[in-house]
Amino acid sequence: MNRKWLASPYLLWMILFIVVPLLMILYYAFTSRDAEGTRFTMAHLIKSFDSIYMKALGKSLLYAVVSTAICLLLAYPLALILAKHDNGGSTMIFIFILPMWMNFLLRTYAWLSLLETNNGLVNTVLRAFHLPVLDIIGTKYAIVLGMVYNFLPFMVLPIYNTLSKIDKSLMEAAYDLGANDMMRLLKVTLPLSMPGVMSGITMVFMPAVTSFVIPNLLGSGKVNLIGNMIEQQFIMTYDWGFGAALSFVLMVIILISMGILRRYDDMEGGAGIW
Amino acid sequence: MVRKSIEKFYLCLIMLFLYAPILTLIVFSFNDSKSRAKWGGFTLKWYQTMLHDPVISKAIYYTLIIALLASVVSTIIGTLAAIGIHVMKRKTKSVILNITYLPVLNADIVTGISFLLFFIAIGLKLGFTSMLIAHITFNIPYVILSILPKLSSLNKHTYEAALDLGAHPMEAVRKVIIPEIMPNIITGFLLAFTLSLDDFVISYFTTGRGVTNLSITIYTMTRRGIKPEINAVSTVLFIAILVLLLIINKRSDRQTKKLGGVNV
């Protein structure tokens, strides 16, 4: 018996529970069902391009880009500092990854108490320093804060991993050749850490675009992103065909952006999947 | 000197940002008032009542049982799959791996909805079984991904030697390959277990009446206010996972030390 056959239970499982369900999205998105039976239709897809859905999609992309950029700006210096510690680094990185193991709904919900306008801890501290109070719950700022908070470890980890693998002698060589700190950062460290940066961007951007829990909790349901629109079709209005069409559009956008990011990754010499 | 303290300050600032909500939760699990903003004195009563609350104890039960079943099944299927995929032809391998990556890369909400539509189309009632199938499916890729890299770094000849010495191929897999990849199997299992424990989005779309895990219970509660018992439950879970991770870390530390000793 060939070892190949060991994979057969998985192949069966994969076709049945990965491939077929994804095809179901296509099927529901492009058919309509009524008393006369099931017919092919483009109506759901056309409705997906209505301005309210396109606006929600645009907003999702915008918030995701902003959150990803903030994560990158916060994570890169952090990863640099952690990578400099030869031994303590791995323990330190553990401390920064650990929060992910607390239920993310609860962590996000905790921000509601922290940010509360009157009694929240943040504003109590701000008042003590005679600073203006924050009143951001239910706004886009709270949503971006929630995204940065939840996805920051996804950015820190891959950047830290590539930085800690950079050969120290390269830095010494650059130093010997007369490069100062700034030049070494820009010309040696930054280019070599690009694969980590790219996978960090992917790992933050994807969940940020599609999140519906963070806008529901921190946006108090006042801000609708594309994830919320999809959720509503299945949980409230039961328009599954249209919900499937929106999911289809979202999936296409994700796969295209993955493709672009991966191609860039490949050029940097990383082994891509596509 | 100045630079060192700026760096330390920056680390502390980010740590404060990451831990503030968690500390709030832990502190409020000892709060003798139902408010989530006011401190009403120290109490342990939420830790005593958390297991008596029928909704919460049922949610804990489903969370643990699904995480356990899903991680065991996905580890078995995933390990066999990795061993099989490893020896496939390049082309077949890359097609299968690309499909395997789909649930990892795709948005959870899209994966969840694809399951929902699928279960409804085949007429499976949403509930325990549907949620379990969904969890097994999203876990398997992570198990495969933890094992494949190790397989390609193994020495091919030990397996062939076992065959030459008269071992049946399956026997050789069991006695030569499995022991070598055991650490990766365990990593894959733990990864699957924690992913399953923490999942919300896919569970939310694949569950039915009466079957909820902790995340779904919490999500439902956010509309009416979180019960303080939930803070207690998550504090316990957080500490349990922390201890588990520390044990794993210690174990791998010891392994690296052992290896280091051999090399020197």
CATH number at residue B200: 1.10.3720.10
**Cα angle B35-B38-B42, degrees, rounded to a multiple of 5:** 90
Output A66 or A40, whichever has higher pLDDT.
Answer: A66
- Asked if residue B239 belongs to a domain, the reply is no
User: What pLDDT score does B252 carry?
Assistant: 63
**pLDDT for res A12:** 95
Helices and strands of chain A, counted as H and E runs: 15, 2
Best mutation target, A1, A10, A211, A254, to test chain B (most B CBs within 10 A): A10
Asked if the structure places residue A199 within a domain, the reply is: yes
Does residue A33 sit within a domain? no
In-domain check, residue B24: no
A66 in contact with chain B, both atoms CB, cutoff 8 A: no
Residue B197 makes CB contacts below 8 A (sequence gap 6+) with B63, B64, B67, B237
**HSE (side-chain half, CA atoms, 13 Å) at B211:** 19
Q: Is the pLDDT of residue B264 over 50?
A: no
Name the residue with higher pLDDT: B249 or A248: A248
Residues A109 and A132: their CA atoms lie apart, in Å, by 23
Instruction: List, for residues B12-21, the tens digit of each pLDDT value.
Output: 999 999 999 9
Cβ atoms of residues B206 and B138 within 8 Å: no
Residue A167 backbone phi and psi in degrees, to 5: -65, 125
In terms of CA atoms, which chain A residue is nearest residue B214? A103
Which pLDDT score, from 0 to 100, does residue B123 have? 92
CA-angle at A241, arms to A239 and A244, nearest 5°: 105
Dihedral sign of CA atoms A123, A127, A129, A130 in order: positive
Phi, then psi, of B54 in degrees rounded to 5: -60, -40
In this structure, is residue A72 part of a structural domain? Answer: yes
Min Cα–Cα distance to chain B from A81, Å: 7
Better pLDDT: A26 or B39:
A26
Parent domain of A240: 48-267
Q: Which two tokens stand for residue B178?
A: 């499995």
Name the closest residue on chain B to residue A247, using Cα atoms.
B110
Total number of domains constituting chain B? 1
Q: What is the per-residue pLDDT for A172?
A: 85
Once rounded to an integer, what is the mean pLDDT over residues B106-125? 93
Q: Distance between CA B1 and CA B33 in Å, rounded? A: 46
Looking at residue A23, what is its pLDDT? 95
Assigned domain for B76 exists:
yes
For B35-62, what is the mean pLDDT? Answer: 84
**What is the average pLDDT score of chain B?**
87
Q: Is A119 on the interface with B (CB under 8 A)?
A: yes
Q: What is the mean pLDDT of residues B43-47?
A: 86
Q: Of all residues in chain B, what percent carry a pLDDT higher than 70?
A: 92
pLDDT band at B251 (very low <50, low <70, confident <90, very high): low
What's the confidence (pLDDT) of residue A272?
35
What percentage of residues in chain A have a pLDDT greater than 70? 94
CATH of the domain at A167: 1.10.3720.10
Confirm or reject contact between B173 and chain A (CB < 8 A).
yes
Task: Please report the pLDDT score of residue B79 as a whole number.
Answer: 96
How far CA B236 is from CA of A26, B54, B222, in Å, comes to 43, 18, 20
**Contact of A173 with B39, CB cutoff 8 Å:** no
> In sequence order, what E strands does chain A have?
31-34, 37-40
In a domain, B80, yes or no: yes
Q: Do B87 and A20 contact (CB within 8 A), yes or no?
A: no
Contacts of A206 in chain B (CB under 8 A): 105, 107
Q: What does the pLDDT read at residue A156? A: 92
**CA-closest candidate to residue A112, choices B264, B218, B185:** B218
Least CA distance to A226: which residue of chain B?
B109
DSSP letter assigned to residue A95? H
CA distances (Å), origin B264, targets B153, B257, B258: 22, 11, 10
Domain of B207 in residue numbering reads as 47-228
Label residue A201 by pLDDT band (50, 70, 90): very high
Integer Cα distance of A144 and A152 in angstroms = 12
- Output A191 or B39, whichever has higher pLDDT: A191
Categorize the per-residue pLDDT at B118 as very low, low, confident or very high, splitting at 50, 70 and 90.
Answer: very high
Based on the number of CB atoms within 10 Å of its own CB, is A111 exposed (0-12), middle (13-18) or buried (19 or more)? buried
Question: Which one is predicted more confidently, B62 or A262?
Answer: B62
A37-40 and A31-34 beta bridge pairing: antiparallel
Give the CA radius of gyration of chain B: 23
Contact between A203 and A165 under an 8 Å Cβ cutoff? The reply is no
CA atoms within 13 A on the CB side of B1: 0
Tell whether pTM > 0.90.
Answer: no
Give the model's pLDDT for residue B132.
Answer: 97
Radius of gyration for the alpha carbons in chain A, expressed in angstroms and rounded: 23
Q: Please answer yes or no on whether B106 and A254 come within 8 Å at the CB atom.
A: yes
* In the block, residue with structure tokens 């065991």: B72
- The rounded distance, in Å, linking the Cα atoms of B62 and B205 is 16
Q: How confident is the model at residue A264 (pLDDT cuts 50, 70, 90)?
A: low
pLDDT at position A266 over 80: no
Residue B4 lies in a domain: no
Q: At what angle do helices A20-29 and A240-267 cross, to 10 degrees?
A: 120
Residue B244 within a domain: no
Q: Is the pLDDT of residue A89 over 70?
A: no
- Which of B13, B18, B102, B142 would you mutate first to test chain A, the one with the most A CBs within 10 A? B18
Which ipTM value was assigned to this complex?
0.85
Sign of the Cα pseudo-torsion (A263, A266, A267, A270, in order): positive
For the four alpha carbons of B67, B70, B73 and B75, in that order, the dihedral sign comes to negative
Answer whether residue A269 shows pLDDT above 60.
no
Question: How many angstroms separate the CA atoms of A199 and B105, rounded?
Answer: 12
Number of domains composing chain A: 1
For residue B253, is pLDDT > 70?
Answer: no
- Asked if B91 and B159 count as a contact pair (C-beta separation under 8 A), the reply is no
For A224, phi then psi, to 5°, come to -100, 115
Which is more confident, A71 or B49? A71
Name which of B109, B133, B249 is nearest A230 (Cβ-Cβ): B109
Q: Name the residue with tokens 């342990």.
A: B44
Report whether pLDDT(A112) > 50: yes
- Cβ neighbourhood burial of B88 (10 Å; 0-12, 13-18, 19+): middle
